[in-house]
Amino acid sequence: QASQEELKAAYRRLCMLYHPDKHRDPELKTQAERLFNLVHQAYEVLSDPQTRAIYDIYGRRGLEMEGWEVVERKRTPAEIREEFERLQREREERRLQQRTNPKGTISVGIDATDLFDRYDEEYEDVPGSSFPQIEINKMHISQSIEAPLTATDTAILSGNLSTQNGNGGGSINFALRRVTSAKGWGEMEFGAGDLQGPLFGLKIFRNLTPRCFITTNCALQFSSRGIRPGLTTVLARNLDKNTMGYLQWRWGIQSAMNTSIVRDTKTSHFTVALQLGIPHSFMMVSYQHKFQDEDQTRVKGSLKAGFFGTIVEYGAERKISRHSILGATVSVGVPQGVSLKIKLNRASQTYFFPVHLTDQLLPSAVFYATVGPLVIYFAMHRLIIKPYLRAQKERELEKQRESTASDILQKKQEAEAAVRLMQESVRRIIEAEEARMGLIVVNAWYGKFVNDNSRKNEKVKVIDVTVPLQCLVKDSKLILTEASKAGLPGFYDPCVGEEKNLKVLYQFRGVLHQVMSADNEALRIPKQ
């Protein structure tokens, strides 16, 4: 976004700094010539609107293309950008057609009631009765894929298999979704299964206003008992920026009316719901707190009471790797008993393990369901997950360092040469600033700092950038824009792929100040 005037001003300043005639030392003169030529090449590219447009979009590779295969060089910057956007849209459409967006769920129900509900007299004469019987009593597997046909049409294929206590079945569904406008879409669904007959469904979504939408789902289920129709309608409205209100009416199988309010903010998620229906009527309140840490830790709790009894649930979930989230929830209810639900989300796949511990309200079951997963998680996190993630990060960093080693070495040599060439200019700037009691950079470091005790074993990787920063001071001000500071004159990247900061100790009006700035953060000193 730099204007031509800003480019000219920066070009003139760097030309004065790197002009070969200003340096008598033969070695410095050679280094100055090389840097002066780089500055001149950059200005030639950026001062021409056409080559600047090509560089902004394609980088240096675009300038080096023989005959420039992508678009004609004679076009205006606006035409070049338009052509680039067209090519980008075509690539996006091809990528869309190749994407199937698979989603899947595997649920394994475990009956572990024998751990807490055993009656010793029943097991006295049974061989091996000293060991509790833990068995898998139900399983459910579902999978779906999406196949984009055009920019507006998508085909969806899904299927599921379920088994419980030796009995099971499955079904397969095919849906075709079409986006009719920016305000809505429609979907037709066909399905069949071995437990139920053919299914025909129609779903419509429509934005009524910018803050309100409606969804209607009609279904016809064919079976040996005849045709069973069903209708579900949901009306939703934005009550404010973070709050949604829902009204749901379901007629047919398990008819019900439901109203709920959901408030979702950066740090919390709150839901309150009330349902009146057949066979279940209930009221539910749930709250989830989101911690602002890198592991995206969440703690949640809920209370649900109705004709079926009362259930209290509490649990937590945490990110354990780049694509995996692990969660555990304890469910305590009357008459349901105590259960532990473990869930692992891996990309678009979900693995769910509900473990039923007891049919009664036993304090021991609640205690072990709460403490057991915590102990196992922290042991695994410390002994397995953390070392694995650390090793994975080191491998990625090492690979990145190897691929950029020659480029970084060249940047380092250029930065060191630039610092030597800046010495005379910096001396004059310091003299001028001292005379007016202005801005003097006492010390400045750039790179990886380790301030956290938990990271005390990590190595500090910083470079001294006192001279380059002082060289950027103009009229007792230092202004850095929102961009990586590794690209500034006299800077280079001392720790590729790692988090970097700029630490500056400066003197202004005779008083010392210190400031720390993130790599891509804008900086303006002196601070007000």
Q: Which of 224-233, 254-263, 382-391, 406-415 has the highest mean pLDDT?
A: 254-263
* Residue 125's pLDDT band (cuts 50, 70, 90): low
Please tell me which residue, 397 or 93, carries the higher pLDDT value: 397
pLDDT at residue 144 tops 90:
yes
pLDDT at residue 83 tops 80:
no
Q: What is the pLDDT of residues 17-60, one digit of tens each?
A: 888 888 778 888 888 888 889 899 999 989 888 788 878 777 77
Predicted local distance difference test score (pLDDT) of residue 481: 83
Say if residues 49 and 74 touch (Cβ distance below 8 Å). Answer: no
* Residue 357's pLDDT band (cuts 50, 70, 90): very high
Q: What span, in angstroms and rounded, lies between the C-alpha atoms of 294 and 50?
A: 43
Residues 6+ apart with CB under 8 A from 398: none
In the predicted model, what is the mean pLDDT of residues 78-82?
71
pLDDT at residue 120 tops 50:
no
* Residue 3's pLDDT band (cuts 50, 70, 90): confident
Tokens at residue 140, please? 């459910």
In the predicted model, what is the mean pLDDT of residues 375-388?
88
Lookup result for tokens 């060089």: 73
Q: What is the pLDDT of residues 479-502, one digit of tens each?
A: 888 888 888 888 988 888 888 999
Please tell me which residue, 193 or 232, carries the higher pLDDT value: 232
- Looking at every residue in the chain, the average pLDDT score rounds to 86
The CATH number of domain 4-90 is 1.10.287.110: yes
Residues 6+ apart with CB under 8 A from 274: 258, 259, 260, 282, 283, 284
Predicted local distance difference test score (pLDDT) of residue 68: 45
Q: What span, in angstroms and rounded, lies between the C-alpha atoms of 486 and 500?
A: 9
In three-state secondary structure terms, 485 is helix
Say if residues 286 and 301 touch (Cβ distance below 8 Å). Answer: yes
The residue count of the chain comes to: 528
Tokens at residue 87, please? 């090519």
Looking only at the bridges linking them, the beta strands covering 349-358 and 103-111 are: parallel
Q: What span, in angstroms and rounded, lies between the C-alpha atoms of 242 and 266?
A: 9
Query: Is the link from the previous residue into 127 a cis peptide, with omega within 30 of 0?
Result: no
Closest among 393, 317, 381 to 350, alpha carbons compared: 317
pLDDT at residue 66 tops 50:
no
pLDDT at residue 456 tops 80:
no
Residues 6+ apart with CB under 8 A from 28: 420, 421
Per DSSP, 514 falls in state E
Say if residues 186 and 204 touch (Cβ distance below 8 Å). Answer: yes
Write the DSSP assignment of 88-106 as a string of letters: HHHHHHHHHHH----EEEE
pLDDT at residue 160 tops 90:
yes
Q: What is the pLDDT of residues 306-333, one digit of tens each?
A: 988 899 999 999 988 878 899 999 999 9
Q: What span, in angstroms and rounded, lies between the C-alpha atoms of 435 and 424?
A: 17
- What element of type H or E holds 8? helix 4-18
Cβ-based burial of 485 (10 A; exposed 0-12, middle 13-18, buried ≥19): buried
Predicted local distance difference test score (pLDDT) of residue 304: 95
pLDDT at residue 393 tops 80:
yes
Say if residues 411 and 493 touch (Cβ distance below 8 Å). Answer: yes
Say if residues 304 and 310 touch (Cβ distance below 8 Å). Answer: yes
- Tell me where in the chain the CATH 2.40.160.40 domain(s) lie: 100-107+139-254
- Tell me where in the chain the CATH 1.10.287.110 domain(s) lie: 4-90
- Lowest model confidence (mean pLDDT) among 73-82, 206-215, 339-348: 73-82
The CATH number of domain 100-107+139-254 is 3.40.50.2300: no
* Residue 443's pLDDT band (cuts 50, 70, 90): very high
Predicted local distance difference test score (pLDDT) of residue 35: 87
Say if residues 258 and 248 touch (Cβ distance below 8 Å). Answer: yes
Say if residues 498 and 397 touch (Cβ distance below 8 Å). Answer: yes
